[in-house]
Structure 1
């Protein structure tokens, strides 16, 4: 797709962004109030070969943010692609002017300038293109921010996973023109913003692609192959632990959970260390490529969604893609614990006892609580590598969705880190909410014949108890956060820049967190 910026441009469709307080954007047409509501999509079709107008509602004036812009872009591209239009112009100028969302740099913007979206996806990103997060007001945007948000939302909203469909959609926009205020920015000024948007969208779509794949295609062994192939041309070291190496390192959680599958489990280790002097950050992801529940087998009319149990691993892989393509200076290791949880004659059964290398023994009360068993191995390995800042992310409990609904994940652990992550999520759309670690709940993990059980004895507070279980495998000297994203890994229908299926949640959250920690590490000590 070709992207151009500049002044007015002829196109088949003109997109107008409209807040609730805005006047009617198209002369002679009075909009009804619902057309200005957040997420509203209204077509005004023209005659005589004139451009059609598409009104995208932004909702109330307060709270307008980059996330609203991304949502609007996703809604717009989906509506336009459905109609089959190929050329689009977007009126970003009015919005930028009304909110003073830009400060014009020296020099004047010329006419239309062309930017090729294929080039913005290059691995040679600019240093620092994943920005540190500011906790300032939501609408403190430059025109570069506005363009980046629109381009990111547009790319993510146009995402489709139709790899296995006979009739693939060919209705994609060929030319996107962004109308900006006169003198706001030159095309050259906007190249980093568009490159940043492309890097972020590509990383998120990588996470979506992997998570959407069916289990006959993507399983622990093929995931290893995909990862090795994908990162071969990026500045990322890849090491795979399998078979005898897992046994040597006593990764008994992975070995036990993987017993029932014909595909062997593995621990995938990715390293990106452009500055080894920085503190090592570990990103840990749960990669259960299909979760049938083991011998505590799941039941239901359609269990296809069990493929989304690798959402945490996909988030980590998407983040590593963004980090390595951005060129930021960082010292980060990703650890993916991958296995299938299947019932089989060889599969582990309830009452199995697993012994971990830190001496903790775990009674398996329920084989469907397998995620924490494999994450324990990865958390211990993060400590073995010397990481003192650790974030794990996993589709761990359905309980977190009962607490928080489907719009934000829960986070437990180091409070300052959680506050940083929450600020990041409010800005980039991967929202989280701080959750408590209640020490008294540890008694719910009591086992009569092991150090602890892998499942709570109570039906209440399951997400908290799961976080307490993981905490036992983190060194007390480490700063650690656990993110339970079971409720945010997928959506049932298209909305904003999400399409039905995997969301790619967490990829941008983790990438921005790493960037924020790098910036914090470089700040002079008080």
Structure 2
């Protein structure tokens, strides 16, 4: 089901004619006085002539701009691509400020994405550290992606780039190969997430999603456990069952566990896996409903994060809980005013069946809590309010300060946009129910935060008697791109948050070392 083309990453140094490619990419930035040709492997004469021609050619250096020229003899390529990196950082005194890692990541991803149809690309973006090389490699791995599974003809479609060589002085450094291997693995995880999100709901539904988790896990040291509807009912997963009972496609809970012998930390990741969300009886408007195939992005993220952690061999026990259901209206569907008994015994009055994600997530959070992890992080396309508050590209993160702060730091390092939001105590009374322990909707204003307050009610206590450190990440906006491609992001599924969560685990291990 999940078919990804993977780019082969390598590094080269020196004479490019000895390492020929179809296209050579060099960078152009936006300086205060116009476009600036960045450091490159061209001869001084060729570089000077090119730099003087930038404005005439209409090249500004803006991010995502990609201008093709015929290759030069010394370039070892038939195409010379000038890739915009955006505004250049201001120099401090005589010191030349390097580009940010994210600017390099986006420029590399944009160039590789726009060179689809070309087989081999050499990226000659300026890198002065291994971390910068890693950013270029990650961008390339995410840029080399396409989703064409259901096209009956390949006419007009271009295959993604298959080979990327990075021009760097670190080409002979022994520390480089692990950097490229990690970038390739991250690219694979992000692209697998994208492909799951892009799957049509006719093909990705609870049972097939569970099968896809098994398929993606093959060859990795992970254990996959699936709860079908019978086991879910027997063990009392009322939230997942309640949301899924309106569909002929029965719900699933999938546990993906990576437990290395020498683990020094233990985390649980809970993901919302609504394979299609009509809203149920509280049905959504028809306009834009097709995008609700992406309502399982959180589950795809946590699945591929754990698989990436396993692939990297990180010494942490990481468990993904995929809470999967299809939210459909039917004679069997749950109704507004129904009461569900969640896993663990707490009761919820369902006032709106379109607030279903928090119901399946509550079950998953309780299950995760019973294993006493060091931290629980849940990821969900949970609320439209997230888009109102933070827009299409920035995820909201809420919860325990110790976890949200670390997630923000990891996101900054990974180059993803995350913003911490508060959980005001005055929101909790709005979730009071007259007939159950809690209602599934409350105060409309600040709805992203109200949803997180609901989820917090289900976070269990650790062995010390205190609530387990927890964070909720709402990716409703950034998980799905309805606009034009940008940077390393293509249309539709973005795979956002995978990089942040892997970086979070790496930071956690460094802090405990």
Give the TM bin, normalised by the shorter chain: 0.7 to 0.9
User: How has the CA–CA distance of structure 1 residues 468 and 47 changed in structure 2, closer, same or farther, with 3 Å as cutoff?
Assistant: closer
Q: Distance in 1 between matches of 2:375 and 2:224?
A: 20
Q: 1:222 aligns with which of 178, 202, 208?
A: 208
**Which residue does the alignment assign to 1:54?**
81
Give the Cα separation in 2 of the matches to 1:172 and 1:220: 30
User: For residue 372 of structure 1, what is the aligned residue in structure 2?
Assistant: 358
* Residue equivalent to 1:463: 448
Counterpart contact for 2:304–2:498, Cα < 8 Å? yes
Task: Work out the CA distance in 2 between the residues paired with 1:387 and 1:176.
Answer: 39
Shift of 1:517: 2.0
Supply the distance in 1 between the matched residues of 2:183 and 2:261 (Cα, whole angstroms).
24
CA displacement 1:247-289 (0-9 Å, x = unmatched):
2321111111111111111211111111466342110001111
Counterpart of 1:113? none
Distance 1:344 1:193, change over 3 A: same
State which of 62, 71, 74 in structure 2 corresponds to 1:37. Answer: 62
- Superposed, 1:356-367 pairs within 5 Å as 356-367=342-353
- The runs of 4+ residues in structure 1 deviating greater than 6 Å are 47-50
| Root-mean-square deviation over aligned CA pairs | 2.2
* SS of residue in 2 equivalent to 1:281: strand
Q: What is the TM-score with the length of structure 1 in the denominator?
A: 0.84
* Aligned equivalent of 1:207, options 193, 202, 208: 193
Structure 1 residues 6, 226: CA separation in 2 closer, same or farther (over 3 Å shift)? Answer: same
Q: Equivalent residues in 2 for 1:5-84 (5 A)?
A: 5-10=12-17, 11-21=21-31, 23-24=36-37, 26-29=47-50, 30=52, 31-32=54-55, 35-45=60-70, 51-62=78-89, 64-81=99-116, 84=117
What is the aligned partner in structure 2 of residue 179 from structure 1?
A: 167
Question: Which ranges in structure 1 are unaligned for 5 or more consecutive residues?
Answer: 102-141
Cα distance, 1:399–1:23 mapped onto 2, change above 3 Å: closer
Unaligned runs of at least 5 residues, structure 2:
1-6, 39-46, 90-97, 461-465
CA distance in 2, matches of 1:18, 1:489: 29
Map 1:22-421; keep pairs closer than 5 Å.
Answer: 23-24=36-37, 26-29=47-50, 30=52, 31-32=54-55, 35-45=60-70, 51-62=78-89, 64-81=99-116, 84-92=117-125, 95-96=126-127, 101=128, 142=129, 144-168=130-154, 169-181=157-169, 184-186=170-172, 188-275=174-261, 278-421=264-407
Q: What corresponds to 1:104 in structure 2?
A: none
1:474 corresponds to 2:459:
yes
What per-residue deviation string (whole Å, max 9, x for no partner) do you get for residues 338-370 of structure 1?
110001110111000112354432111000000
Cα offsets for 1:45-77 (capped at 9, x unmatched): 469998432211222332832211111012111
Structure with larger RCO (C-alpha < 8 A, sep 6+): 1
Q: Is the 8 A contact 1:441 1:465 kept in 2?
A: yes
The answer on 1:520 being equivalent to 2:508 is: no
C-alpha distance in 2, partners of 1:507/1:323? 10
CA contact 2:24–2:77 (8 Å) conserved in 1: no
Q: Corresponding residue for 2:92?
A: none
